Amino acid sequence: MQQPPVVLVADAIATAELAPLLAAGIEVLDRAGISAAELALEIGRCDGLLVRSRTKVDAALLAAAPRLRVVGRAGTGVDNVDLATATRAGIVVMNVPSGNTNAAAEHTMALMLALARHVADGAAALRCGRWEQKPFVGIELEGRTLGVIGLGRIGRSVAGKARGLGMRVAGFDPMLDAAAIREMGIEPMDLDGLASSSDVLTVHVPLAEKTRHLVDARLLALMKPGVRILNVARGGIVDEEALLAALTSGHVGGAALDVFEEEPPRSLALLQHPRVLATPHLGASTEEAQAAVARLIAGQVARFLIHGAVDNAVNLTGLGAEERVQLAPWMQLARRLGAVAAGLSLARPQSAELTRCGEGVLLRGDVLAAEAVVGLLSPWMGRALNPVNARLLAAEWGFSLVDRQQPGHKSFPALLRLVVKGGDSELVLDGTLFGHGMLRIVRAFGMNIDAIPEGHMLFVRHKDRPGMIAAIGTILSSAGVNIANMSVGRDAARANALSILNCDEPVPAAALAAVAAIPGVEHVRALHPDSAD
């Protein structure tokens, strides 16, 4: 009996929010607060790992997790996960980009209002017995310009709330064109223009190589004197040393920070600056958001482990459960075509082209191409490939794949064509589906065929003349091999033919040699494309 998948929960997640895992029959190891050393000992038997921001999923931990298939981050940021190493290992990394949107946006607004009106300092003075007003004269936000860097879910939510306060909102997002930004009710600007125009600047982008220190000394110098800076996204987007210098000089009028380059911060110089309002990474810390992201990530991980559905993966194109059901036979066909091509190729594959003829599910070329690469290169590379790491490892191996789309095919409603090149040879295979997901190879070596790519297969290229098929059948019969299915095609000149046989048993080496010795036989290959599944 197959053992259920095992998911380890390394950070605090309420038991009630783990219900999707339990309902799917997944074994849950609740180890909230587990140390790094203990986690390294337990992770080896786990198929999934759930974390928040505390647990560091680094290369050392991933190396100790041979069974690990998915890491679920209960939140948005995945900077505590070594994405490069996870991808190379074929591990899907998922997050929950929507679960804490409102919480983070509301916290941004709370900090902006508190910074504008000196709420924290005024409350602290009163708590100490001082009734003071003059030191805490603030500014009104209505009519001022809010600059938003990053117009994803949170950035758009902040923009909407700011407009409710009567603020003018401008934004910068290199992933969106100006028309799309205007449709949001936001004035599009380039980064420098946004910096020089904003009274308040807030950042809502992920931390990556291109966004690290995005707000640096140069950008700060472009800003208006007295500008307020907000960061409720990720530490490191704002250069903390440059910000401290700008605050000390008085050029920046105030900063509200919820995230830091080092958490918790060891240096207190920025935190203790009189014009800084700081909170300890509370952007997603609402009861509603914490419950939502935990429940959502548990559901995503459960659907992946049980059904293969990919939701909100940061290192693999998403494929929901319903879409996966529709695409599954085409994914299997793409992988089988790759596996057949690998078995037939005599030279190391150097490049390939996957052409998708048809529409609908065949629009997902990214998914189908990855499957074809897994089938084609797994036997050659001698390592485990899956759709997560296939394209990356193939490129490092020196292999390139081009994916193309054509509107249709003259003979079939939909079809996949895989062209594999290696050395001086080129192999072309066409595949399609018959009926309800019945896989077929319909063209190979330039000949029309009707072959089933499964089980023990025998490909024989031979002269098109009487007695060839009988000779092949006689040899297999003598070897005790039963033929389950056979398809024969021939070229237009009726000079050459291709016989593809599905056998109930593997063809012994002696029988293969005997078939190859038949006069007129040019090429014999035994394959087992199911092994790539």
221 and 362, same domain (yes or no)? no
First to last CA, the chain: 20
Q: Which of 132, 140, 262, 263 is catalytic?
A: 263
Give ∠ CA 250-251-256 in degrees, rounded to 5. Answer: 85
Q: Does a structural domain hold residue 54?
A: yes
Contacts of 434 (CB under 8 A, 6+ apart): 440
Mean pLDDT lowest among 190-199, 314-323, 387-396, 481-490: 314-323
Report if residue 313 sits inside a domain: no
Assess whether 90 and 116 both reside in one domain.
Answer: no
Q: What backbone torsions phi and psi does residue 350 show, to the nearest 5 degrees?
A: -110, -30
Q: What are the C-alpha distances in Å from 324 to residues 4, 327, 388, 487?
A: 21, 5, 15, 30
Query: Is 257 a member of any domain?
Result: yes
Mean pLDDT for all residues in the chain: 93
Residues 36 and 109 in one domain: no
Whether residue 164 sits in one domain with residue 17: no
Question: Would you state the pLDDT for residue 360?
Answer: 64
- What is the DSSP secondary structure assignment for residue 135, as one 8-state letter? G
Reading the block at residue 457, the tokens are 């297969």
Please give the biggest Cα pair distance in the chain. Answer: 108
Neighbour tally for 233: CB within 10 Å: 28
156, 234, 443, 456: which is the annotated catalytic residue? 234
Q: For residue 132, what are the contacts with CB-CB under 8 A and spacing of at least 6?
A: 122, 125
CATH number for the domain that contains residue 415: 3.30.1330.90
Catalytic: 462? no
Rounded distance, CA 214 to CA 254, Å? Answer: 18
User: Does 467 score more than 70 pLDDT?
Assistant: yes
65 and 145, same domain (yes or no): no
Burial of 389 from C-beta contacts in 10 A (0-12 / 13-18 / 19+)? buried
Residues 93 and 241 in one domain: no
Based on the fold, state whether residues 222 and 246 are members of the same structural domain. yes
- For residue 366, the model assigns a pLDDT of 84
Q: Are 89 and 108 members of one domain?
A: no
Q: pLDDT tens for residues 232-282?
A: 999 999 999 999 999 999 999 999 999 999 999 998 999 999 999 999 999
Confidence of residue 311 (pLDDT cuts 50, 70, 90): confident
What 3-state class would DSSP assign to 432?
strand
Q: Structural domain tally of the chain? A: 3
Residue 55 in any domain: the answer is: yes
Query: How does pLDDT run across 27-75, given as a tens digit for each residue?
Result: 999 999 999 999 999 999 999 999 998 999 999 999 999 999 999 999 8
- Summarised one tens digit per residue, pLDDT across range 116-151 is 999 999 999 999 999 999 999 999 999 999 999 999
User: Which tens digits make up the pLDDT trace of 9-39?
Assistant: 999 988 889 999 999 999 999 999 999 999 9
144 is catalytic: no
For residue 411, is pLDDT > 90? no
Domain assignment of residue 128, yes or no: yes
Domain that holds residue 218: 101-278
Predicted local confidence at residue 103, as pLDDT: 93
Paired strand residues for 525: 459
> In the sheet where 252-257 sits, what is the strand order?
187-188, 168-172, 145-149, 200-203, 227-231, 252-257, 276-278
Question: Does residue 216 share a domain with residue 333?
Answer: no
203: which strand partners?
A: 149, 231
Q: Is the pLDDT of residue 382 over 90?
A: no
Strands, sheet with 6-9, edge to edge from the N-terminal-most edge strand: 27-30, 6-9, 48-51, 70-73, 92-94
Instruction: Say if 1 falls within a structural domain.
Output: no
- Could you confirm whether 263 is annotated as catalytic? yes
Token pair listed for 500: 């593809």
Q: List b or e across 284-310, with b for residues whose CB sees 16 or more CB atoms inside 10 angstroms.
A: bebeebbebbbbbbbbbbbbbbbeebb
| Residue of 281, 295, 335, 409 marked active site | 281
Q: Is 10 exposed, middle or buried (0-12, 13-18, 19+ CB in 10 A)?
A: buried
pTM of the model: 0.71
State how far the Cα of 309 lies from the Cα of 86, in Å rounded to an integer: 18
